[in-house]
Structure 1
Amino acid sequence: MNEADLLKYCLAKPGAWQDEPWEGDIVAKVADKIFAFLGSASVGLKCGANRAEADELVLIYPEDVAASAYIGRYGWNTIKLDGAVPADELRELIDQSYDVVVRKLPKSKRPTG
């Protein structure tokens, strides 16, 4: 999965939109919360409720998945694009990250559809 496909997949989610909160850094948000940090060679996703849960993916793909800088302790991982993580699994991880973020939104901010 390349960067363009990744962005397209993220933005197809209900209520998803592209933002650039820091110059040159593209993120996908739902309401005002980030669910994906989009890079040219990687994507940052919420992969667990905590570091221990997120580390399960690191153990499976140690060369292609690592704890995200600064927010890794909260269950965020950085995943290399076009690495060992299959595209279908990457889509599932995006879905999970999106779902976790949406569940934490107040009901009034959750997308419909």
Structure 2
Amino acid sequence: MNVEELREYCLAKRGATESFPFDDSTLVFKVMGKMFALISLKRLPTQINLKCDPEKAVQLREQYVGNILPGYHMNKTHWNTILCEKVSPTLIKELMDHSYQTIVRKLPKSKQMLLKEVP
């Protein structure tokens, strides 16, 4: 998947927003103010950092050695870096969904309710 495909998929999530809070080359996607994906616009091949359940993160790294790595500049327990040219688009979308859902599940119930109201 290329950057634009990743961006479109992230923004299709309910309540997702994009910004450049760190610098002009790191695109960050949030839901209710919490990050669920980061894409570097400078690093090649295209990479995306996604939040992940710690046990699943380790399993993915073992299964996709060299293609799914501990999160670059992130908490390596909770974040993975996916090399997009080396991993199938189907798996990338599953991992983006997992990242988004991981964040939403941890939101306070009041914010989860507000999110359900977002078109």
TM-score by length of 2: 0.85
1:27 partner SS: strand
**2:4 equivalent in structure 1:** 4
Cα distance in 2 for partners of 1:6, 1:70 equals 19
Q: Which of 50, 56, 59 is equivalent to 1:45?
A: 50
**2:96 equivalent in structure 1:** 94
Cα distance in 1 for partners of 2:69, 2:22 equals 22
C-alpha deviations, 1:55-79, integer Å up to 9, x for none?
Answer: 1111111121110134112x21000
The one-letter code sitting in structure 1 at the alignment partner of 2:51 is K
- TM superposition outliers: structure 1 runs of 4+ over 6 Å: none
Gaps of 5+ in 2: none
**2:16 equivalent in structure 1:** 16
Aligned alpha-carbon RMSD (Å)? 1.3
1:14 partner SS: coil
Percent identical pairs in the alignment equals 38
Cα distance in 2 for partners of 1:91, 1:53 equals 15
C-alpha deviations, 1:23-76, integer Å up to 9, x for none?
Answer: 12111100110000112310001121x2x4311111111121110134112x21
**1:82 equivalent in structure 2:** 85
Gaps of 5+ in 1: none
Number of corresponding residues: 109
TM-score by length of 1: 0.89
Cα distance in 2 for partners of 1:70, 1:6 equals 19
Cα distance in 1 for partners of 2:74, 2:16 equals 24
C-alpha deviations, 1:69-108, integer Å up to 9, x for none?
Answer: 34112x210001111x110111000001000100111122
